[in-house]
């Protein structure tokens, strides 16, 4: 499981109001696990990921 930097910061800011909901056993019989204040109950470490280059095509002009 991983959190984005923004999600982690929000979990810090709203610690008592932040709930992480995890879907477990997705392939058979899924169930939800709710974890209130996840930074208090779970341990995370910072991992910087380098994104690969993605080629995108952007529209030139407007759709008529």
Per-residue pLDDT of the chain (64 residues; tens, 9 = 90+): 889 999 999 999 999 999 999 999 999 999 999 999 999 999 999 998 888 888 888 878 877 7
Cα distance between residue 16 and residue 29, in whole Å: 30
* Gap between the Cα atoms of 56 and 34, Å rounded: 37
C-alpha pair distances (Å), 23 with each of 10, 55, 57: 20, 32, 34
34 strand-pairing partners: 21
Residue range(s) defining the domain that contains residue 59: 1-64
Contact status, residue 18 vs residue 11, Cβ threshold 8 Å: yes
Q: Structural domain tally of the chain?
A: 1
pTM above 0.75, yes or no: no
């Amino acid at each position: 499981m991983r959190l984005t930097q923004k999600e982690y910061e929000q979990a810090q800011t709203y610690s008592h109001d932040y709930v992480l909901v995890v879907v477990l056993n997705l392939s058979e019989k899924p169930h939800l696990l709710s974890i209130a204040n996840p930074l208090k109950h779970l341990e995370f470490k910072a991992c910087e990921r380098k994104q690969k280059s993605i080629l995108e095509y952007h529209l030139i002009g407007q759709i008529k």
